[in-house]
Structure 1
Amino acid sequence: MSRIVTLPPVGRLLAVTDLHGNLADFHAIAARFKSLVAVPGPPPHLLFCGDLVHGPAIALTAWPEHLGDFYVDQTPRLLSEARQLATAFPGQIHFLLGNHEHAHLGGPQLSKFHPDEAAYLEGQYAAGDFDAIRQWMAGWLLAVVAPAAGIAFTHAAPHAQISGPGDLDNLKLAGYESVPLVDMSSTGPLGALLWARTTSAERAFAFLRALDPGCRVAVFGHDIVREGHLIEHEPLLCVSSSFGCYNGDKVYLEWDLARPAGSAAEVARAGLRPLYPDARPVHRT
């Protein structure tokens, strides 16, 4: 199976990162997508850049400032609604595999808010009911390419060393259960794409060229950027749409797929939009 999707050269793309069970944030981007569907023209696309699952289990009275605005984890309902959206708009909704989804597919055990995040989520389903969710996640992507725009999307930083797109198609998801979390970003292409927080410009450009010679910008999430986005250096644009941010700082990417992107700085300047336009920014300027 292919783990890369190539987007068409027309239409608008919305991309969000790391919802982590935040149903309100899901509803906000889904509403924006549906508003574009109602506009005549090429069909829009919506990309979730991984980590839809595993939200916090912290009471409002104990909620820490570093997690931004309070919310209650509603991962099961979010997953259900995301599948419904994908069914309603076939070929227009895309999902990148995140390190948190990988925990259900042979990745290492995660314990951010529970001793075993995967076991906790699966325990919220009746016996056997999570099997369909796991099968769905197993088909999620590792990269999305918008060749006319020159942009590639991954969950974490494009730190993987590959010779071509086929390298990603051949990756196996299982077998990482015993790998220490601190070693995942250096454990082959899969570990790098799901865990790396950054990479060098040389390595990033090499990854982009291997995916598509015309790619000039890498957009990803995984890390928390309190201000909403970070350009450490070209071609890296790290975006925070949800987890760990205040509502006024959360951003998503909206891009015309026919518009060539010259740099990460251009994509940030022309393409980033507030997820909640009426909310007051706390860190974002």
Structure 2
Amino acid sequence: MKQRLVVLPDHGQLMVSADLHGNMQDLLALEAHFERLRSSSSNVHWVLLGDLVHGPDSAARARQPELYDFPDESFAVVDHVGKLQAAWPGNVHLLLGNHDHGHVGGVHTSKFHHDEVEHLESTLSADQRARLVAVLEGAALVAIAPCGVLLAHGSPDASLFDVHAVNSLDLDPRNNDRHGQWLLSSLLGSYGQPDAVTREVLEHAGRSAGMDLRVVVHGHDRDEAGFFVEGEHQVCAVVFGAPPRNKRFVVLDLAARYPDAHAFREGHEVLRLYPTA
């Protein structure tokens, strides 16, 4: 089994970005921020929270151009992330999203096309499909850091009580037991949880990892405001689904402590992708 858990260090900086859905311009803008961080420190980690693929169709672009007027460059995005991982091994980490999952054993999504997996793969050569699958199959499912954060595509429910359990998961749900199927589904498909559930998840997951975990940072959701907090312990910084002026990502100090979601401050930990838009 591949390692699906990323354990981040207790020093350096951590950049976190959420769903891209085929937007190459946003990926390159994030890469520029990553390079700026690296210019002052070599110990910088970047965690992408998944959903690299499946951009808007022409109808969505026409209907809401302020949100969706960009070309779907899903393969180029995945391929570029793979190159970033090769260039910075151990520093650029990809977590799997539910849209990505469809290409490596998961449910085929239908956000912008009836079968988005089939739609994308029908445009690829055999070599391109193999490269797409290689990057997505290598994705992790959860990342944790001693600064107090747990990162995943979705905001997990009580099925996550031992972070090491993700290393036993098969990306084909049929090959997992009932709990494994529940856990995989939660990590990839859950939206915000009741605060009591997230507190329990963080307590149990943290105990299993020997860390005091306090905040879930997730993607999967969208908000035109670009950032939202759920309860005391969940945050979501939005790239896809927000207008350019509101797109946001997160930068954390891995040597600090983040006791709750309110420690994520605008202009400090929460940054705009396009500050002059």
TM over 0.5: yes
Q: Measure how far apart 1:144 and its partner are.
A: 0.6
More helix, by proportion: 2
Q: Deviations over 1:255-278 (max 9, x none)?
A: 111110121111244410000000
1:45 corresponds to which letter in structure 2?
H
Verify the 8 A CA contact 2:229 2:236 in the aligned structure 1: yes
Cα separation, partners in 2 of 1:42 and 1:103, compared to 1, 3 Å: same
CA 1:43–1:271: 2 relative to 1, 3 Å? same
Residue 93 of structure 1: CA displacement? 0.2
Alignment of 1:120-131 (within 5 A): 120-131=119-130
Aligned equivalent of 1:44: 44
Corresponding residue pairs, total: 267
Taking the aligned partners of 1:204 and 1:251, their CA distance within structure 2 comes to 23
Alignment of 1:1-285 (within 5 A): 1-39=2-40, 41-58=41-58, 62-64=62-64, 68=67, 70-147=69-146, 149-175=147-173, 188-213=182-207, 214-241=212-239, 243-269=240-266, 270-279=268-277
Counterpart secondary structure, 1:68: helix
Alpha-carbon distance between aligned partners in 1 of 2:121 and 2:85, rounded to the nearest angstrom: 21
d(CA) in 2 for partners of 1:79 and 1:206? 34
Please give the per-residue CA displacement for 1:136-163, whole angstroms capped at 9, x wherever unaligned.
211211111111x111111011224233
Aligned equivalents of 2:169 and 2:37: distance in 1? 35
CA distance in 1: counterparts of 2:217 and 2:265, whole angstroms: 10
CA contact (8 A) 2:173 2:181 kept: no
Partner Cα separation in structure 1 for residue 270 and residue 130 of structure 2? 36
Q: Which AA in structure 1 matches 2:56? A: P
State the alpha-carbon separation in 1 of the partners of residues 204 and 60 from structure 2: 46
Moved more, 155-164 or 73-82: 155-164
Alignment-mate amino acid for residue 63 of structure 2 = W
Pair 1:164–1:124, CA change in 2 (3 A): same
**Alpha carbons 1:160, 1:188 under 8 Å: kept:** no
Task: Say which SS state the counterpart of residue 26 (structure 2) adopts.
Answer: helix
Runs of at least 5 residues in structure 1 that lack an aligned partner in the other structure: 177-185, 280-285
* Percent of residue pairs bearing the same amino acid type: 32
Contact 1:225 1:245 in 2 (8 A): yes
Give the partner amino acid of 1:245.
A
Partner of 1:183 in structure 2?
none
CA contact (8 A) 1:63 1:70 kept: no
Secondary structure of the residue that 1:276 maps to in structure 2? Answer: coil
The CA deviation string for residues 173-197 of structure 1, in whole angstroms up to 9 with x for no partner, is 2146xxxxxxxxx960111111111
Q: TM-score under structure 1 normalisation?
A: 0.88
Moved more, 104-113 or 157-166: 157-166
- Give yes or no for contact 1:160–1:190 (8 Å, CA) kept in 2: no
Q: Distance in 1 between matches of 2:125 and 2:158?
A: 37
Shift of 1:42: 4.4
Whole-angstrom distance in 2 between the partners of 1:226 and 1:114: 22
- When the two chains are superposed, the root-mean-square deviation of aligned CA atoms in Å is 2.0
| TM value normalised by structure 2 | 0.90
Deviates further, 160-169 or 118-127:
160-169
- Describe the shift of the 1:128–1:141 C-alpha distance in structure 2 as closer, same or farther (beyond 3 A): same
Distance 2:6 2:30 in 1: 20
Kindly provide the CA deviation profile for residues 181-230 of structure 1, in whole angstroms up to 9, marking residues without a partner as x.
xxxxx960111111111112222122222332400011001011111111
